[in-house]
Amino acid sequence: MTKVKQIKKCRICGNRKLERVLDLGKTPPANAFVSKKDLRKKEEYFPLVLVFCGKCFLLQLAHSVDPKTLFRDYYYNTGASKPLVEHFTRMADELSKHYLDSQEDLVVEFGSNDGVLLGALRDRHRALGVDPADNVSKLARKRGVETITDYFGKKSASKIVKKHGLAKVIVANNVFAHIDDIHDVLRGVDILLHDDGYFVFECHWVGNLIHEGGFDQVYHEHLFYYSLHALKTLLATHGLTITDVNLVPIHGESLRVYAAKKGKENKAVNGFLEKEKEMGLTKKETYEGFSEKVISNKERLGDLLVALKKLGHSIVGYGAPGKSTTLLNYVGIGPKIIDFITDTTPSKQGAYTPGMRIPIKHPDILTKKKPDYILLLSWNYADAILEKEKKIRKRGVKFIIPVPEIRIV
């Protein structure tokens, strides 16, 4: 494919009447951090536009960027986030207790990243990861997790079955929204999943995006912004029934969905579908209201930061997750506003943010330099970070939380 293409129909149901609801302009890929040696090179920018399907109620990006541009080298490491490590360790325990019976049971995770979840399962069951990024696949293998460097779909699933047999559980966390040909993924699930097995996945919930205003969750890797309504349509197309669902406090709020070839929807599924209707997630007007909220947030945050700089205050950033690329580029926050950003991910330290080119440093710098304000770009972990950084706050440093509502604490 070319590096970017505009879709002509809904990726789930094929509807050609898609409604444009938000245009965030053009940005670089969210995780395309720039090394010092590449600062003189020109970055690639791609459109970031959201459209709504009134038939299956899917919110999705209007353009697809070539996955080789996005995922071949990937800076996102699950193991660098303590909250995510704890979350997936608990998930591993749940899967082992309720969905896996013996050491011979096979669990396959696609989009397995650096193998945190499978690392918690590999001593109890057969565990296999599938991830297209060379760098994170290597990290998973160092963790002792057998990992195939490949995209998951019909072809790779067939290879896995021949070598390893059928999977009792297939897992996909924070990746189910990333894959343009999602139907090929589900054809792969159909091939690989045991008739009595479960497909369990987590993805960011569009209800959180819309009603909490977390527009920075919108970036090129995230092609889909799922409601349970849209997921029900998608999975049913491939003979899968959603048997259970719950919300988990990851990336704001994410859906954890349990699906099987056999089984029935429980009360939680029916109740959640009703909840989405009440929230207006099946109506275009709801998404247009979200767009207005995003534009207002951009103006207010930009004005606040410029005013603080004019008063002579120093500002730094905290955390360089992928979503920070959207916020920084859309609002226009560059090194003239923010001196630097701290991040715990070793591969990001010494690099620069995509587009705005803000330097990223080790968090230890905050023990030497005292900024007046810290823009909390990892706002979804605000409570944990504010508790962790009590010493900094006692020194008089203020945190700016940009989403969903701008707050200074």
Rg from Cα positions in the chain: 21
Place domain 78-285 in its CATH homologous superfamily.
Vaccinia Virus protein VP39 (3.40.50.150)
Residue 74's pLDDT is 58
Query: What single DSSP character describes residue 40?
Result: T
Cα 164 from Cα 217, distance rounded (Å): 36
How many whole angstroms separate alpha carbon 223 and alpha carbon 62?
8
pLDDT for 82: 80
At 69 the pLDDT is 82
The amino acid present at 49, given as its one-letter code, is V
Rounded (10°) angle between helices 284-310 and 322-331:
70
Residues near 120 by beta carbon (within 8 Å), at least 6 away in sequence: 88, 89, 92, 93
- The answer to whether the CB of 115 falls within 8 A of the CB of 145 is yes
Write down the pLDDT at residue 310.
97
As a whole number of angstroms, the distance between CA 165 and CA 355 comes to 45
Cα 327 → chain centroid: 14
d(CA 301, CA 281): 27
Q: Is the peptide bond before 359 cis (omega within 30 degrees of 0)?
A: no
Identity of residue 103: Q
258: closest CA among 157, 171, 168, 185?
171
Residue 405 three-state SS = coil
Which 8-state DSSP code applies to residue 122?
T
Sign of the alpha-carbon torsion through 250, 147, 4, 9? negative
Provide the 8-state DSSP code for 37: G
Mean pLDDT of the 203-217 span: 89
pLDDT classification of 274: cutoffs 50, 70, 90? very high
Confidence of residue 73 (pLDDT cuts 50, 70, 90): low
**41-53 pLDDT, tens digit each:** 999 999 999 999 9
For 313-359, how does the pLDDT look when each residue is reduced to its tens digit (9 = 90+)?
A: 999 999 999 999 999 999 999 999 999 999 998 989 999 999 999 99
C-beta separation of 215 from 403 below 8 A: yes
Q: What is the pLDDT of residue 251?
A: 74
Residues 60 and 287: their CA atoms lie apart, in Å, by 11
Q: Distance between CA 190 and CA 147 in Å, rounded?
A: 20
Which one, of 385, 401, 214, lies nearest residue 301 by Cα? 401
Contact 317, 295 (CB under 8 A): no
pLDDT class for 71, splitting at 50, 70, 90? low
Least confident of 185-189, 372-376, 378-382: 378-382
Q: Which has more confidence, 145 or 69? A: 145
Q: What pLDDT does 212 receive?
A: 79
Task: Check whether 134 has a pLDDT greater than 90.
Answer: no
pLDDT band at 135 (very low <50, low <70, confident <90, very high): confident
Consecutive H or E run containing 255: strand 254-260
pLDDT computed for residue 72 by the predictor: 59
Mean pLDDT value of segment 92-97: 96
Rounded to 5 degrees, what are φ and ψ at 126? -75, 130
Domain boundaries, the chain: 78-285
Tens of pLDDT, residue by residue over 145-180, are: 999 999 999 999 999 999 999 999 999 998 999 999
Concatenate the DSSP letters of all residues of 151-205 into one string.
--SHHHHHHHHHHH--EEEEEEES-TTS-S-HHHHHHHHHHHEEEEEEEEEEEEB
Once rounded to an integer, what is the mean pLDDT over residues 74-93?
Answer: 81
H helix intervals, 244-389: 267-278, 284-310, 322-331, 382-388
pLDDT band at 76, cuts 50/70/90? Answer: low
